[in-house]
Amino acid sequence: MTFGSPEPLTRGKVLSLGRKNASNTMGARFQRRLLTSFPALAGLAFLAACAAGGTGSGGEKTPAPIACPDLVPAPPTMISPANGAAGVADGKFSLILNAQASLFTFTLTAAGGTTVPLPSPSQVPLPSASPGQTGFALAVPTLQAATTYTVVAENSGGAGCPTTTYSIGTFTTQ
């Protein structure tokens, strides 16, 4: 071999950076890095699995949180009596709404704070229902005379989701 001419590489020879020790080869360094980072990767995988649901204090399985739907239903609108109406009968009439009624519970709240629950609505035809909404009638019980009532619609949002409450209109009894 002459000075200045490199020794040719042939198959089977290992490229090393000055040491003839096989632990310095690229393959060996990769294996060492993989083996030293594997416990960290396994730990991250374990933590991710725990975040998706774990066990409660009694050992029972707790479900992962459920994302609430992004779509909140449109608030109902009062059809009859009209919003702000005065001189409305003091009970035994039907409150007509344009709503997705199966998603709501309805109550009347008197000016003094008294709450009057309303029964489940029944579907009625409406000539001007909004898309996705239907006409519904709610039977109103006997109310106090000369009192302003606010119609309140509440959507529970489902398990683990916040409740949405709408004040959809008012009327005053005669």
For residue 44, what is the DSSP state? Answer: H
The predicted-structure confidence for 124-172, as pLDDT tens digits, reads as follows 888 766 666 788 999 999 999 999 999 999 987 777 777 889 999 999 9
Count of residues making up the chain: 174
Residue 59 burial by Cβ neighbours in a 10 Å radius (0-12, 13-18, 19+): exposed
CA dist 171 → 66, 104, 167 (Å): 39, 20, 12
Going along the chain from its start, the domains and CATH numbers come out as 22-51 (no CATH), 77-173 (2.60.40)
pLDDT at residue 96, as a whole number: 92
pLDDT at 56 over 50: no
Higher pLDDT, 42 or 171: 171
Question: 49, 174, 54, 75: which is closest to 130 by C-alpha?
Answer: 75
Residue type, 114: T
pLDDT at residue 84, as a whole number: 96
Higher pLDDT, 26 or 105: 105
pLDDT at residue 146, as a whole number: 94
pLDDT at 19 over 60: no
Whether cis (ω within 30° of 0) applies to the bond prior to 81 is: yes
Alpha-carbon torsion (38, 41, 43, 46), positive or negative: negative
**CA–CA separation, 98 vs 96, rounded Å?**
7
**CA–CA separation, 118 vs 139, rounded Å?**
7
